[in-house]
Amino acid sequence: MNYADYLKLDQLLSIQQPESDRLGRPARDELLFIIVHQAYELWFKQILNELDVADQAFTEDHVDDADIGKVVHALDRIAVVLRVLVNQIDILETMTPLDFLEFRDLLIPASGFQSAQFRQIEVRLGLMPEARISFNGQSYKSKLRAIDQRLLSKLESQSSLADRVETWLLRTPFVVWKDWDFEDAYSRAVATMFANERHMISENPELDQEQHDRQLRNVEQSEDAFRSILQPVDGTVAAPGWRFRPQALLAALFINLYRDEPALQLPYRLLTALMDIDELLSTWRHRHALMVQRMIGRKIGTGGSSGHDYLKNSAEKHRMFGDLFALATFLIPRSALPPLPPHVQRAMRYQYTDTAS
d(CA 172, CA 267): 10
Phi/psi of residue 177, nearest 5 degrees: -125, 170
Domains in the chain (CATH in brackets) are 3-356 (1.20.58.480)
pLDDT value at residue 357: 52
Contact between 336 and 189 under an 8 Å Cβ cutoff? The reply is yes
Bridge partners of residue 181, in order along the sequence: 176
The total of other beta-carbon atoms located within 10 Å of residue 160's CB is 20
Annotate 6-17 with DSSP letters as a single string: HTTHHHHTT---
Question: Which amino acid belongs to residue 349?
Answer: R
d(CA 168, CA 68): 11
d(CA 282, CA 134): 18
Question: Which amino acid belongs to residue 315?
Answer: A
Contact between 180 and 344 under an 8 Å Cβ cutoff? The reply is yes
pLDDT value at residue 232: 63
What contacts 303, CB < 8 A, 6 or more positions away? 109, 110, 111, 112, 113, 114, 143
Going from the C-alpha of 223 to that of each of 197, 216, 244, 316, the distances in angstroms are 11, 11, 20, 27
Bridge partners of residue 180, in order along the sequence: 177
Contact between 100 and 29 under an 8 Å Cβ cutoff? The reply is yes
Contact between 140 and 119 under an 8 Å Cβ cutoff? The reply is yes
d(CA 291, CA 294): 5
* Residue from 230, 244, 224 nearest 161 by CA: 244
**Angle in degrees, 0-180, between the axes of helices 65-92 and 30-57, rounded to the nearest 10:** 170
Contact between 36 and 92 under an 8 Å Cβ cutoff? The reply is yes
The total of other beta-carbon atoms located within 10 Å of residue 63's CB is 17
Phi/psi of residue 273, nearest 5 degrees: -65, -40
Query: Does the model's pTM come out above 0.75?
Result: yes
Which residues of the chain fall short of a pLDDT of 50?
A: 304
Q: Residue 183 burial by CB count (10 A; 0-12/13-18/19+): exposed, middle or buried? A: middle
Contact between 162 and 241 under an 8 Å Cβ cutoff? The reply is no
